[in-house]
Chains A and B, each alone.
Chain A
Amino acid sequence: MAKSQIELKVNGKSVEAMVEPRTLLIHFLREQLNLTGPHIGCETSHCGACTVDLDGKSVKSCTIFAVQANGADIRTIEGIANADGTLHAIQEGFREMHGLQCGFCTPGMITRAYRLLQENKNPSEEEIRVGISGNLCRCTGYQNIVKAIQFAAAKLNGVPFQEAAE
């Protein structure tokens, strides 16, 4: 099948590439651009490990073709850290609050939390849980992931983070 040319922005850089129409975005990112941060988990649009940010939307990159992303502006976990190389507040939150164990879901969780906090600067615990309901974690039980996102929200809002009593 003939390849199509696509042009898009990935983590701030312009990219031109030839792709087969059937190439899924996750395969394009991992295999053609060597961005192996977004993970392939379930491959059935359930787990969210492949989540990337596309034109201001969190999307599961296993359920969209690379050709559909022609012209898009994409951010993966590789593009989340601050420009000076320091950790983004969400990444710091995951470290400080022990928001991961095996780490497989973490790129998707952080990328999703990034968009969530863009849309809702001060989410309640309930809003965080609904907001990350498309991302599965099989280790943590989610408690510390929620705390990590609360930590990040507090830091981004410039207020001290207060852990709720358990």
Chain B
Amino acid sequence: MIPAAFSYHRPKSVQEAVALLAQLGDNGRALAGGHSLIPMMKLRLASPGNLVDLAGIGELKGVRADGNDIVIGAMTTQHELVASDLLADKIPILRETSLQIADPQVRYLGTLGGNVANGDPGNDMPAVMVCLDASYDVTGKTGARQIAARDFYQGTYLTALETGEVLTAVRITTPATGHGWAYEKLKRKVGDYATAAAAVMLTMKSGKVDSCSIGLTNVADTPLWAQEAAKILTGSPLDTPTIKQAVAAAEAITSPASDARGPTQYRTKMAGVMLARALDRAKSRARG
């Protein structure tokens, strides 16, 4: 499997990359870890005339605290997310999610930026970012802007990113100390996309849910933010009837395709099962 011919560029700075992409227009694509784009190119489902490799841009790498935010450079790999002590301490749901993405070899190269910017509903990080209310730092020819993850996803491979713009970093407000978290993913085998998956972040106060956010993966053409389900759970002690009600509310907003991972009804139910399990595990980890 040999991709169509292309020209290769390796800019040294974001500015250089953005200028190149602006000049190339629809004939250029940014290359991050390449583990979605290169398989697409091998199948000739993508055949960009130019690849702008972001791997040589040092400023796109690394995890750092910035005031009350954690900022993760777009070219930070899943392997580096797993290894980060700062993330393990402050946002452990990211490590839990990364470890469920693909396999070790893919995680050495696959990046957070590529995962969230690609717009593939099968990717795991977008729903986690929606759950965390993350925002994306984006730079284009006309300057930089921030886009909330919750406003970013418009459809399959369709995002708020304009042609020529590069997603440079993911910014997450540090979650409250003692929060509970879980990412529960049903997949057929290692390396598979989710049949359905659920991300949960919550805080507990005197045995009741004080705040809660839920994201769902691969059960619609975008990641889903299950607001209604979270609202139902807030104030409850996570008792069985309330969880049932929340699960029903979450299932109601899904519209998964019938495919090799199962028919629509099954995948909808599995989204509910993943949510119930994620709530259970998040609760067991929460303090308060």
Expressed in whole angstroms, the minimum distance between the Cβ of B171 and any Cβ of chain A is 26
Chain B residues positioned under 8 Å from A46 (CB to CB): 191
Option from A22, A70, A134 in Cβ contact (under 8 Å) with B104: A134
Chain B residues positioned under 8 Å from A133 (CB to CB): 103-104, 190-191
Q: Indicate whether B266 reaches chain A with its CB closer than 8 angstroms.
A: no
Q: Indicate whether B109 reaches chain A with its CB closer than 8 angstroms.
A: yes
Q: Indicate whether A112 reaches chain B with its CB closer than 8 angstroms.
A: yes
Cα of A70 to Cα of B286 in the assembled complex, Å: 46
Chain A residues positioned under 8 Å from B104 (CB to CB): 58, 112, 116, 130-134
Q: Indicate whether B252 reaches chain A with its CB closer than 8 angstroms.
A: no
Option from A20, A24, A134 in Cβ contact (under 8 Å) with B106: A134
Chain B residues positioned under 8 Å from A58 (CB to CB): 104-105, 108
Chain A residues positioned under 8 Å from B31 (CB to CB): 68
Known: A21-B8, A67-B8. A59 touches B105 (CB 8 A): yes
Q: Indicate whether A162 reaches chain B with its CB closer than 8 angstroms.
A: no
Q: Indicate whether A122 reaches chain B with its CB closer than 8 angstroms.
A: no
Q: Indicate whether B5 reaches chain A with its CB closer than 8 angstroms.
A: yes
Q: Indicate whether A2 reaches chain B with its CB closer than 8 angstroms.
A: yes
Report whether over half of chain B's contact residues are helix, strand or loop; otherwise say mixed. Answer: mixed
Are A64 and B109 closer than 8 Å at their CB atoms?
A: yes
Expressed in whole angstroms, the minimum distance between the Cβ of A151 and any Cβ of chain B is 21
Contact with A along B11-53 (1 / 0, CB 8 A): 0000000000000000000010011001101100000000101
Are A43 and B35 closer than 8 Å at their CB atoms?
A: no
Option from A4, A24, A59, A134 in Cβ contact (under 8 Å) with B102: A134
CB under 8 Å from chain B, chain A span 93-131 = 112, 116, 130-131
Nearest A residue to B42 via CB reads A43
Known: A21-B51, A57-B79, A64-B38. A43 touches B106 (CB 8 A): no
Q: Indicate whether A36 reaches chain B with its CB closer than 8 angstroms.
A: no
Expressed in whole angstroms, the minimum distance between the Cβ of A39 and any Cβ of chain B is 14
Option from B53, B55, B191 in Cβ contact (under 8 Å) with A134: B191
Known: A43-B1, A45-B39. A112 touches B105 (CB 8 A): yes
Cα of A20 to Cα of B4 in the assembled complex, Å: 11
Q: Indicate whether A1 reaches chain B with its CB closer than 8 angstroms.
A: yes
Q: Indicate whether B235 reaches chain A with its CB closer than 8 angstroms.
A: no
CB under 8 Å from chain A, chain B span 193-222 = none
Q: Indicate whether B2 reaches chain A with its CB closer than 8 angstroms.
A: yes
Chain B residues positioned under 8 Å from A4 (CB to CB): 8
Chain B residues positioned under 8 Å from A27 (CB to CB): 2
Cα of A59 to Cα of B104 in the assembled complex, Å: 9
Chain B residues positioned under 8 Å from A131 (CB to CB): 104
Q: Indicate whether B240 reaches chain A with its CB closer than 8 angstroms.
A: no
Cα of A20 to Cα of B51 in the assembled complex, Å: 13
Nearest A residue to B50 via CB reads A21
Are A1 and B5 closer than 8 Å at their CB atoms?
A: yes
Chain A residues positioned under 8 Å from B8 (CB to CB): 4, 21, 65, 67
Are B106 and A22 closer than 8 Å at their CB atoms?
A: no
Expressed in whole angstroms, the minimum distance between the Cβ of A20 and any Cβ of chain B is 7
Q: Indicate whether B7 reaches chain A with its CB closer than 8 angstroms.
A: yes
Expressed in whole angstroms, the minimum distance between the Cβ of B14 and any Cβ of chain A is 19
Cα of A131 to Cα of B99 in the assembled complex, Å: 11
Are A48 and B6 closer than 8 Å at their CB atoms?
A: no
Expressed in whole angstroms, the minimum distance between the Cβ of B10 and any Cβ of chain A is 8
Seen from chain B, the residues whose Cβ lies within 8 Å of a Cβ on chain A are 1-8, 10, 31, 34-35, 38-39, 41-42, 51, 53, 55, 79, 102-106, 108-109, 190-191
Known: A2-B7, A60-B106. 9 other contacts (CB 8 A): A1-B6, A1-B7, A21-B5, A22-B3, A22-B41, A58-B108, A63-B35, A67-B8, A133-B104
